[in-house]
Amino acid sequence: GENVEQHPSTLSVQEGDSAVIKCTYSDSASNYFPWYKQELGKRPQLIIDIRSNVGEKKDQRIAVTLNKTAKHFSLHITETQPEDSAVYFCAASSTDSWGKLQFGAGTQVVVTP
C-alpha cells in the first residue's frame, strides 16, 4: 500500500518568512496529492491540491510542487502570518485505491510575530 512520509514534524518561522513542508510517497500509481490544514480541535480543511498531470499549482500565498520522478511533493507558504499556525498534513491517493487518502504524519507550523 501507499506510504507517505512528511518532514519536518515541527517548523517555526518568523512572520513574513516562507515555510516549506516536504512529503514523499511510495506508490507510483498515486495521482492526487492534497494538503490539509488543521487547527487545534477542528476538522482538517483542504487548502490546495495537485494532480499528477501538473507540476505546480499556486493559490495566493500557497503553492504546491510535484516531482513525479522523485515521488515527492512540497507545500510552500510565503509571507507567513500568525493565522498560518496550525498542523499541516499532506496526503496521496490513486485510482487503484478508491480515492482513499493516505496521510503523512503532519507538520506543526508555528509562526511567531
**Applying CB under 8 A, which part among 16-24, 34-42, 55-63, 75-83 lies near other proteins?**
34-42
Q: Does 25 bind other proteins (CB under 8 A)?
A: no
Q: Of 97, 95, 112, 107, which Cα lies nearest the Cα of 47? A: 107
Task: List, in sequence order, every residue forming a beta bridge with 32; answer none if it has no partner.
Answer: 51, 93
Give the residue, chosen from 18, 26, 28, 45, that forms a contact with other proteins under the rule CB under 8 A. Answer: 45
Binding site residues, other proteins, CB under 8 A? 31-32, 34, 41-46, 49, 51, 89, 93, 95, 98-106
